Amino acid sequence: MKSLPLSLILSGLLLAGVGCQVKNDPTPIGGQPALPDGITLVESVERETADQLIIPYKKYSLDNGLTVILHEDNSDPLVHVDVTYHVGSGREEVGKSGFAHFFEHMMFQGTENVADEGHFKIVAESGGTLNGTTSADRTNYYQTVPSNQLEKMLWLEADRMGFLLDAVTQEKFEIQRETVKNERGQNYDNRPYGLVRERVGEALHPEGHPYSWSTIGYLEDLDRVDVNDLKKFFLRWYGPNNATLTIGGDFDEAQTLQWLAKYYRPIPRGPQVDEPEKPTVELDSDRYISMEDRVSLPMLYMSFPTVSLHHPDEAPLDVLMFILGQGETSLLYKNMVKNGVAVQASSNHGCQELLCTFTIVALPNPANGKTLADLEKIIRESLAEFEGRGVNEDDLTRVKMSIVSSMIYSLESVAGKVTQLASYEIFEGNPNYIAQNIARYESVTEADVMRVYRKYIVGKPAVVMSTVPNGQLDQIAGPDNWERYQRALPDYMATSDADLAYRRAKDNFDRSIQPPAGDNPRISLPFIWRSELGNGVSVLGAVNDETPTTTIRLSMTAGQRDEPLEKLGLAAITASMMNEATLKSTNEELSNRLQKLGSTITFSADNNRTTVAIRSLSENVDATLAVAAEKLLQPKFDSDDFKRVKAQTLQAIQSSKTNAADTVASVYQELLFGRDNPFAYLDIGTVDTVSEITLDDVKAFHAAYYSSKIASIVAVSNFDRDELVKKLLVFEPWGGEKVTRVALQPFPKIEGTKLYLVDKPGAAQSEIRIAKRSLSYDATGEFYRANLMNFVLGGNFNSRINLNLREDKGYSYGARSGFSGEQDYGTYVASAAVRTDATQDSIVQIEKEVRHYAESGITKPELSFTKNAIGQRDARRYETPTQKLAFLSQIVQYKLDDDFVTRRNEILADIGQEEINNLAREHLDVADMIIVVVGDKQTIFPGLKELGYDIVELDADGNLVE
């Protein structure tokens, strides 16, 4: 078997390390001035030709052990700053799970020199965005800001690396402990299938293995510790010698090095950190476990332990994953989904530093009557079929291209490049690992794939987990033969102040002074070009020459709004059918072609539009567009495909009823816009309406609404206008009749505030929506001004509503409010998922904040914060092809002038307190709003009655409960 030709990856593209120059010379190079004291240049990776697929960087080391990676990219006036610590839940002790994630929260709670919640405020006011993430193996904190804010970000990150602990109080600890509990409730306990991975992790790993608990940890562990335990964890793992600081974007290298020396060099190194041991994970036999849950469908989850991150066998196992269970070319799709046995079946190979797992997941189609035992049998038969079938050259070509193209797409943003550099440094000690990474997949052979299949999968024990709806244990794959152990927790030993060995930095400057911003960067909007195809389809485009990729969005102004009420879900099902077979090709053949091109084509429909999203490596765009045109112009509308798509849609609807967030959204939209408007329902329809949709209905909707007369194209590519338009001529044969939009029906009258309650027995949280009909979309009108008004109330992390419910009360993982609108209608919604026992007071607090803001208005500091935060965001709004595409789509969908952003900036600069306050009084009258709550009625109903509102009980479909 030959390796995949590089020409298939990208024409003229060389791999990193082949034709790139790596210098390992600590002396100044290329005329670079002498480095600041305490900073050493480790290596420099440079691009020798413009078309090399590498990420140029310079790697430095500070004498306190901090690793610094600098990647200059002057294409946009922004910088991305990432600090990755080599610590995650895998470094935690038994009985102290969740510490790494907990500390991710604490790192945003202020330092000696930054006020509580100040980190969010400073970054937002700088026009930036930020977050932090925790995995089993690492924790990272990152900001993307305009380039003139770099010094401020370095000061912020250094402050929480070296000056955090004295600001960490027991009170902050208690609040964030509640926030973490709310996060667990929202993302694990209150989510369908949310506990599956935790249960599988317990069964797969030996007790005490660092992967035997989830990253968020156990609530009982969080409840048994105090703030000093958390401080001790920080002192052990959060030293500069266990961190990598990566900066990408538009910056001056010499100045940046001076700032690094100033802010980071005084921070003392922490304890020695060695590479973690990789304990062996072996199962002696299949472990069957099961769980009842509030789900609509049973799910089978099989997990095999394999290797570890970047192990030589990882790449062939990834290839095996694709062949077995990724996409329409896979065996699991053929044997389980294509024939209607399952609504979903796939495989995955997730890799972490200590262990990778090969998983197979399947959900049965209830119309077929199969149990999870039946599904397991088919899965094992599919594995046996693979052994007989083997691996062919087409498999390798397809899979390798899918993997390599995803790496190329990840380079479209500075954040993506920084993330790769940081990850490679943390786990390989080599930011330039991209060459070796691609080479790993290039070298995979048929024999490699068969070898790892036999070594890790066939005949090997796995954890087989069955998750079934409450009361359906007869559906499980097999009787449980492994019992969830009672965790053996060590006696708790409190950490005293004397146990904490603080490391104090010594500065020769006043670190409490926040660095000023540099000169405002010059923002350049994407240069827009226009054209039109011969059939009248308008084309709006922009050039992006930073990566050799092309992104296209073809849209038609027809969607759920245009469906008959008795056929709700028709637009979505029609779009799904467009993703299936054509008159010329089967779905498997289409999928095979696209995977070998490294391309994706997806049809979808929402309330008002049907969209074809196309993404391709530019060298393959002609072949990709040929597939897109075939799908658009020659759909087969096969009856077997229709049966499968319809069954999948029905199951998606049933599943949405078990998700409280989906339920509350569908209920409040129906109440606001009425049952006579199709868009008031979930896009996928209802069980009753979808059950009535026929294949003829799909064909009729396609004939009526898939018309070039209501279509437009937006595109971002490294091709210029003439080149790309020539390629888009493949759509010129497309015709169609003129289309008239369906008129909106009158909206129901809202008469005073009512509270609508949907019972979700046993829910760990309550979903709350306080909502009203409001302004339709207007990019430079009152809609835009109203969102400016809402920014400090509920439009950012430091908003009044979020600080109240999350940071002050610990009721919620996050709370927000905002205006959203289409051309003909809009809403104002305040939302939160809250602790069940805090449901009543959460409603009180949200209403209090809204009323107070409407009565008292915005403060001068809040207005200044709003102007600064929103006024500087443009520096990061047009970086990636996806962002440019969204900008172009706005112009097309809402018929905006090209300079609408300039007009917005003028509005922002001119708006004052009086106008903001008038908008608040006009649009924030609580008496005009309805309240919808989805939660455990038995627990929350007494408190809701005390609010004094009329309570109307509804079911999950929005029908009155008698």
Cα–Cα distance for residue pair 601/635, rounded to 1 Å: 14
Residues 6+ apart with CB under 8 A from 718: 543, 544, 545, 546, 547, 548, 549, 550, 618
**pLDDT at position 13, please?**
36
Do 287-475 and 528-731 agree at the fold level? yes
Cα–Cα distance for residue pair 544/412, rounded to 1 Å: 9
pLDDT value at 729 more than 50? yes
Lowest mean pLDDT among 9-13, 273-277, 345-349: 9-13
What is the tens place of the pLDDT at every residue in 536-582? 999 999 999 888 999 999 999 999 999 999 999 999 999 999 999 99
What is the tens place of the pLDDT at every residue in 338-382? 999 999 999 999 999 999 999 999 999 998 889 999 999 999 999
Cα–Cα distance for residue pair 586/593, rounded to 1 Å: 11
Fold of 287-475: Cytochrome Bc1 Complex; Chain A, domain 1 (3.30.830)
What superfamily in CATH does domain 754-954 come from? Answer: Metalloenzyme, LuxS/M16 peptidase-like (3.30.830.10)
**pLDDT at position 868, please?**
92
The owner of tokens 């709006």 is 540
pLDDT confidence bin for 8, thresholds 50/70/90? very low
Residues 6+ apart with CB under 8 A from 712: 537, 538, 539, 540, 554, 555, 892
pLDDT value at 5 more than 60? no
Cα–Cα distance for residue pair 924/397, rounded to 1 Å: 58
What is the tens place of the pLDDT at every residue in 209-227? 999 999 999 989 988 889 9
Angle at the Cα of 82 from the Cα atoms of 79 and 86, rounded to 5 degrees? 165
pLDDT value at 9 more than 70? no
Residue 931's beta-bridge partner residues?
755, 770
**pLDDT at position 766, please?**
96
pLDDT value at 717 more than 90? yes
Angle at the Cα of 797 from the Cα atoms of 793 and 798, rounded to 5 degrees? 60
pLDDT value at 802 more than 90? yes
Cα–Cα distance for residue pair 288/465, rounded to 1 Å: 6
Cα–Cα distance for residue pair 88/211, rounded to 1 Å: 10
Give yes or no for a contact between 916 and 858, defined as CB atoms under 8 angstroms apart.
yes
Q: What are phi and psi of 704, to 5 degrees?
A: -80, -35
pLDDT confidence bin for 31, thresholds 50/70/90? low
pLDDT value at 299 more than 50? yes
**pLDDT at position 725, please?**
97
pLDDT value at 6 more than 70? no
Give yes or no for a contact between 535 and 706, defined as CB atoms under 8 angstroms apart.
no
pTM listed for this prediction: 0.91
Beta sheet of 812-821, edge-to-edge order? 812-821, 826-835, 765-773, 930-935, 754-759, 950-954
**pLDDT at position 23, please?**
57
pLDDT confidence bin for 12, thresholds 50/70/90? very low
What is the tens place of the pLDDT at every residue in 164-210? 998 999 888 898 889 998 899 888 988 889 999 999 999 999 999 99
**pLDDT at position 764, please?**
86
pLDDT value at 651 more than 50? yes
Cα–Cα distance for residue pair 808/313, rounded to 1 Å: 49
Residue 953 tokens, joined? 């009980």
Cα–Cα distance for residue pair 911/909, rounded to 1 Å: 6
Q: What are phi and psi of 857, to 5 degrees?
A: 80, -170
Instruction: Choose among 763, 661, 835: nearest CA to 178.
Output: 835
CB atoms within 10 A of CB 780: 17
Domain ranges of the chain: 6-274, 287-475, 528-731, 754-954
Q: Does domain 6-274 have CATH number 3.30.830.10?
A: yes
Q: Which numeric CATH code is attached to 528-731?
A: 3.30.830.10
Helices of type H across 460-524? none
Q: What is the mean pLDDT of residues 89-118?
A: 91
Mean pLDDT of the chain: 92
pLDDT confidence bin for 50, thresholds 50/70/90? low
Q: What is the mean pLDDT of residues 139-143?
A: 96
Q: What are phi and psi of 861, to 5 degrees?
A: -60, -40
Cα–Cα distance for residue pair 836/763, rounded to 1 Å: 8
CA atoms 624, 627, 631, 632: torsion sign: positive
Which bin fits 390, alpha (ψ -120 to 50), beta or left (φ > 0)?
left
**pLDDT at position 872, please?**
87
**pLDDT at position 695, please?**
98
Cα–Cα distance for residue pair 717/727, rounded to 1 Å: 12
**pLDDT at position 404, please?**
83
Q: Reduce the DSSP state of residue 234 to 3 states and report it.
A: helix
Q: What is the mean pLDDT of residues 466-475?
A: 94
Cα–Cα distance for residue pair 111/268, rounded to 1 Å: 17
Instruction: Choose among 774, 762, 780: nearest CA to 925.
Output: 774
Q: What are phi and psi of 300, to 5 degrees?
A: -105, 130
pLDDT value at 10 more than 70? no
